[in-house]
Amino acid sequence: MQEERKAKASVPTPHIAALPGDIAETVLLPGDPLRAKRIAESFLEEVHSFNEVRNMFGFTGFYRGQRVSVMGTGMGCPSMGIYAHELIHFYGAARLIRIGTAGAMQESIAVRDLVLAEGASTNSNFPALFELPGTFAPLADFELLYRAARIASALNKRVTVGAVLTSDMFYGPAESTAAVEKWSRMGVLAVEMETAALYATAASLGAKALSILTVSDHLLTGETLSAEEREAGFTDMAELALSLATEEMRGGII
C-alpha cells in the first residue's frame, strides 16, 4: 500500500515544490541549503528558485551557457536519500554532484584539500535497505570521477581520489580516536555523512553520482578551517563541480 502510494506520487513531491521542467539534468548538492543559495547567487545567471519547502533551497540557472541546478540536501543518509530519490525519479535528474565538507583521516591530506569520493564505506544501514542478497559497494560514476580528477588537476587544485566513510554519527563512538584509526588504517581518506546514500540511491535509479568534498577539519591533527577559509574552499569546490557539470553536458570524451 505504501509502495503504491509512493509510486503514484507526482510533482510537486512532498519535499520539492518544483514543477516539471524546473530542475536541470545536472544538480549540485551541498548539504547546507544556504550554500546552495550562495552558489546560485555567485556563479549562476538567469537564476530562478524552485524550492523553499523546509527551507531546503533549490535554484536553477546557467553556467557558461549550460543549465544547472543547485539544491541543499540536509545532513545524513535519510535526508540525502529523500532528495536524491525525488530529484531522479520525479524530476529526471541524471547527474548528481554532491559538494560537501569532510574530516580528513590521513596525514597526506590537508585541510582545504579536495577529496573525490571513489567509493563510500559506511556505518549506516541505508544501503542494506535496498534488500540485496549481499553487501552493496557504493561507488561513484567512473566518468564523472575521471573527469573531475582531470579538471581538478588542470585547475591546479590539491585533490586526492579514494575511499571515504559515510557516518551516521557526528559525535560519539563512531567518530572516536579508536574508530578513526581503524578506518585510517584501511586507507579511508575522510569522513562525511551522505555519500553512501547518494551513490546507492543513484545506482538504484540508474543515475550518475559523484561526491566532491572539501576538507574542513583534520581528525588526526585537530586542525580546523576558519569561516573565511571554509568559504574559499567552497568556492574551489563549486568551480570544480560547475566545470564538471558543463563539460559533462557538452559530452566531451574521456
Ligand X SMILES: O=P(O)(O)O[C@H]1O[C@H](CO)[C@@H](O)[C@H]1O
Q: Answer yes or no: 168 catalytic.
A: no
Contacts of 199 (CB under 8 A, 6+ apart): 119, 120, 138, 139, 140, 209, 211
Least distance to ligand X from the beta carbon of 214, Å?
8
Give residue number: closest CB to ligand URA. Answer: 103
Place of cell 549481499: 134
State how far the Cα of 70 lies from the Cα of 91, in Å rounded to an integer.
Answer: 13
Sole residue written with cell 555519500: 195
Footprint of ligand X on residues 154-183 (CB under 6 A)? 170
The upper half-sphere exposure of residue 59, i.e. CA atoms within 13 Å in the direction of its Cβ, equals 22
**Residue 122's binding partner, choosing from ligand URA, ligand X, none, with beta-carbon cut-off 5 to 8 A by kind?**
none
Q: How far is the CB of 178 from ligand URA (least distance, A)?
A: 15
Q: Is 15 annotated to bind ligand?
A: yes
248 sits near ligand X (criterion: CB under 6 A): no
Burial of 29 (0-12, 13-18, 19+ CB in 10 A): buried
**Per the annotation, does 89 bind a ligand?**
no
Residue choice 28, 102, 140, 196 for contact with ligand URA (CB under 6 A): 102
Q: Does 189 bind ligand X (CB under 6 A)?
A: no
3-state secondary structure at position 70: strand
Q: Does 193 bind ligand URA (CB under 6 A)?
A: yes
Q: What is the closest distance, in whole angstroms, from the C-beta atom of residue 219 to ligand URA in the complex?
A: 6
Are 193 and 76 contacting, i.e. CB atoms less than 8 angstroms apart?
Answer: yes
For residue 212, give the C-alpha cell. Answer: 566532491
8 Å CB contact between 50 and 69: yes
Angstrom distance (rounded) from CA 120 to CA 137:
7
Residue 98 annotated as lining a ligand binding site: yes
CA distance 238 to 253: 22
User: What, of ligand X, ligand URA, none, does residue 194 touch, CB below 5 to 8 Å by kind?
Assistant: ligand X
User: Is residue 13 a contact partner of residue 49, using CB atoms and an 8 Å limit?
Assistant: no
> Which of 143, 217, 223, 247 is the binder for ligand URA (CB under 6 A)?
217
What's the closest the beta carbon of residue 213 comes to ligand X, in angstroms?
8
- Note whether 211 binds ligand URA by CB under 6 A: no
Q: Does 30 bind ligand X (CB under 6 A)?
A: yes
CB of 171 to ligand URA, least distance (A): 9
- Residue 41 assigned as binding residue: no
Cβ contacts of residue 10 below 8 Å, gap of 6+?
90
Interface residue list for ligand X (CB under 6 A) = 30-32, 75, 100-101, 170, 192-194
Q: Which residues contact ligand URA by CB under 6 A?
A: 101-103, 170, 191-193, 216-217, 219
Residue numbering of the annotated binding site:
15, 31, 35, 54, 98-101, 192-194, 216-217
Known binding-site positions for phosphate: 31, 35, 54, 98-101
Which residues belong to the active site?
Answer: 217
